[in-house]
Amino acid sequence: MALLSMLHFRPRLLDSLQGYDRARFARDFGAGITVAVVALPLAMAFAIASGLKPEAGLFTAIIAGFIISALGGSRVQIGGPAGAFIVIVYGIVERYGVGNLIIATALSGVLLFLMGVFRLGTLVRFIPVAVIIGFTNGIAVLVALSQIKDFLGLHVPKMPGDFFGILGALWSHLHTVNPWAVGVALGSLAIVIAWQRWLPSLGPKVQFSGKLSSVPGSIVALVLATLVVGVFKLPVETIGSKFGGIPAALPAFTLPSFSWESARFLLMPTITLALLGAIESLLCARVADGMIGDRHDPNQELMAQGVANFVTPFFGGMPATGTIARTVTNVKSGATSPVAGMVHALALLAVILVAAPLAGSIPLATLAAILMFVAWNMGEWREFARLPTYRMPYRVTLVAVFLLTVIFDLTVAVEFGIFAACVTFIYRISSLSRSERLTAADHPDLAGRDDIQAWRLYGALFFGATKLVEQIEDHLPTRTLVLDLKNVIYIDSTGAESLENLVHTCHKQGVRLIVSGLMNQPADIAGRTGLTALLQERSADDVQPDVAAAIATAVAGAPEGLPDAAHMGYSGA
């Protein structure tokens, strides 16, 4: 307990249970059952699309969903398998096998937990929105692309994991289209869309429209399509014919066979799983905060995600994170605490134990249609239409990350996106930092004093803006230089070094340097780097509180026509 306290490990469940009563439990129970209904088809669909058996998604929703709710930092977040992981998981399974997926997922759990321990939850918010939108839309395209095979009922022995390989496989097997599968998929997609978009608009026109709209369209499509395929014996592929059904029990604990030859290549996939899991879960938690007027603990959430991802793969699961669709459903269904998420996991467990044999009749074309709808909702497509309203760096970053995600790899896309965002940020901040020479219009004491220069700097004096000091250094006055740093909000070590070089150059050329306006962070960095001591070493009045006092000191200490090197104690040589 002392260790957990030292780690600041405090699940939100502990606070939520204070004053917990029967009425709140009833609301949480109803919300949990509703979320379980939504999660059931999605969990199986995500697993199948990732190259795994459908039960892997269900096991993840049960085990990871329970752990994330019980240990997480949000009151209403629902954890489980997510569409964002499909591309990464499929690539790991395709290249390294399921055993190494277990290792990569467990290691990503360790990384997530350490991110929470070291209080890095807030850093995820610094990832630029252009990067997030770019790879989210890219993942949505890849998810939809991966479902074309089952949507059309194509007979493809093994789907490749890369973009061009998928296109090639689909094109070469296009002649194997199954019209029955296409019909089932289109009908299922129409039901899902109509149920979500059309039924709520009926309102009071239909007596039970409100209650019907609370039932997910994916469940309605799943039930109707399964009945139609079963009654009419349609020749379409089902979970039973493809995977042999779903076991009616949770798997036992298993350890994967470890191979260094393949595991040593898992570093980047592991980091990608951890970063994507952190981004997805914390973004989801922020959405939930806005809906319920609460504030989650990002570090506790990361630790919970870490525990879930470390435990789940050893019980037949896949990577898990916070899921926006299920979390929003949870909130709208009236959830008040993490108990709702725990109920959702237990409800799914009950479904597996009781109704697993029925899942074998679910057509894959219906699951593909559901994922097509999920992919469409996942992407923020309006951002492409709004691109002309943004600056060029934003447009380039978003489009580049999108294309790199689709064509190459999510890891490469995120790395490029963050690099491009950093370069853009440095350029923007350096362009906003500027300097201006003060004239007699600013301070009358400067009238007719060409031997005295006063400069005012704005913005941040960092490694990308040291040219401001260098330009002043290249054109020093003959007697005194005044620097006004009141409007400098930040100085880094490189900026402090450039000021030190200016001090030494002024010393060599016999020019007196007076600095004014050092405040807050610039004053702190000047003290810690020795810049303040260096200035005061030259003369007691080389640091002034404001530019007016600095200019007055410069004029008083430098009579017209007399060199000021003697005042500084320099030879001027």
Separation of alpha carbons 220 and 216, rounded Å: 7
Cβ burial, residue 354 (10 Å; 0-12/13-18/19+): exposed
Helices 339-359 and 22-49 cross at an angle (nearest 10°) of 50
Separation of alpha carbons 336 and 433, rounded Å: 48
pLDDT at 202: 54
Cβ atoms of 105 and 313 closer than 8 Å: yes
pLDDT at 128: 84
Separation of alpha carbons 431 and 296, rounded Å: 36
pLDDT at 377: 84
Token code pair at residue 349: 């467990």
pLDDT at 95: 86
HSE-CB at 444 with a 13 A cutoff on CA atoms is 0
Q: pLDDT per residue over 116-126, tens digit each? A: 999 988 877 77
The model carries a pTM of 0.77
DSSP run (H or E) holding 125 = none
pLDDT at 201: 59
Separation of alpha carbons 283 and 426, rounded Å: 25
Q: pLDDT per residue over 429-479, tens digit each? A: 888 899 999 988 888 888 888 889 999 999 999 999 999 999 999 989 988
CATH topology of domain 434-568: Transcription Regulator spoIIAA (3.30.750)
Cβ burial, residue 441 (10 Å; 0-12/13-18/19+): exposed
pLDDT at 290: 84
pLDDT at 558: 54
pLDDT at 535: 77
Separation of alpha carbons 408 and 368, rounded Å: 23
Helices 217-232 and 22-49 cross at an angle (nearest 10°) of 50
Pairing of strands 434-437, 452-461: antiparallel
Cβ burial, residue 245 (10 Å; 0-12/13-18/19+): buried
pLDDT at 461: 92
Which ranges of the chain have pLDDT less than 70?
A: 1-7, 199-214, 258, 538-542, 557-573
Say whether 59 sits in a helix, a strand or coil.
helix
Which of these, 279, 289, 263, lies nearest to 115 by C-alpha position? Answer: 279
38 CB-near residues (< 8 Å, 6+ apart): 216, 218, 219, 325, 326, 329
Q: Running DSSP on this structure, what letter comes out for residue 521?
A: H
Q: Where are the domains of the chain?
A: 23-394, 395-431, 434-568
DSSP run (H or E) holding 317 = none
